Amino acid sequence: MKSAEIVYPTKYWQPLSDGRVRCTLCPRYCTLREGKRGACFVRRAHHGEIVLTTYGRSSGFCIDPIEKKPLNHFYPGSSVLSFGTAGCNLGCKFCQNWNISKSRKMESLGRQATPQQIATTANTHHCDSIAFTYNDPVIFLEYAVDTAMACKELTSIP
């Protein structure tokens, strides 16, 4: 059975005089008619606003050594929990994660994972960090920010 599409409100858009709505989240500035999706595929015009359709759905969960990431002396020797979502605003011809970043099957690809669940999973598996990877996290900004805050909350010393 097909699950209902996620409709998560966003703040980064403006209505246009011709009835379309412009997403202002990334430099593509997609101008969308009702029901249409942006270049990233995961933000859509819905009732005159731009909504995020992948909030709470992630894919590609993997625990990596931090040395796999393009970072220098960032918690050396530690583990990092990696994940991404469907969709991307970029169109790199050399993308190694095209099956995720260009997926149009968000319901079947993404697993449900709340920000708190991701934070708890990272903590349970002794990961000192998480990585938004496989696609450009700007397209799921609201989910990424809430996940970062959930991690911060879990690790904050009272």
Interface with ligand SF4 includes 137 (CB under 6 A)?
Answer: no
The residue assigned the tokens 């999973």 is 121
Among positive and negative, which fits the CA dihedral 73, 75, 78, 79?
negative
Interface with ligand SF4 includes 74 (CB under 6 A)?
Answer: no
Structure tokens at 16: 């246009």
Minimum distance from residue 73 beta carbon to ligand SF4 (Å): 32
Q: Select 29 or 74, whichever has its Cβ closest to ligand SF4.
A: 29
Interface with ligand SF4 includes 106 (CB under 6 A)?
Answer: no
- What is the distance between the alpha carbons of residues 53 and 122, in angstroms, rounded to a whole number? 24
> From the list 9, 16, 29, 71, which residue makes contact with ligand SF4 (rule: CB under 6 A)?
29
The residue assigned the tokens 């625990």 is 63
What φ, ψ does residue 110 adopt, rounded to 5°? -85, 135
Interface with ligand SF4 includes 43 (CB under 6 A)?
Answer: yes
Bridge partners (DSSP) listed for residue 50 = 45
The answer to whether 58 and 85 are in contact (CB under 8 A) is yes
Per CB under 6 A, which of residues 107..126 are in contact with ligand SF4? none
> From the list 6, 26, 66, 119, which residue makes contact with ligand SF4 (rule: CB under 6 A)?
26
Bridge partners (DSSP) listed for residue 46 = 49
Interface with ligand SF4 includes 30 (CB under 6 A)?
Answer: yes
Q: Select 81 or 139, whichever has its Cβ closest to ligand SF4.
A: 139
Determine the residue with CB nearest ligand SF4: 38
> From the list 38, 56, 84, 115, which residue makes contact with ligand SF4 (rule: CB under 6 A)?
38
- What is the distance between the alpha carbons of residues 137 and 143, in angstroms, rounded to a whole number? 9
Bridge partners (DSSP) listed for residue 129 = 80
Residues near ligand SF4 (CB under 6 A): 23, 25-26, 28-30, 38-40, 43, 89, 139
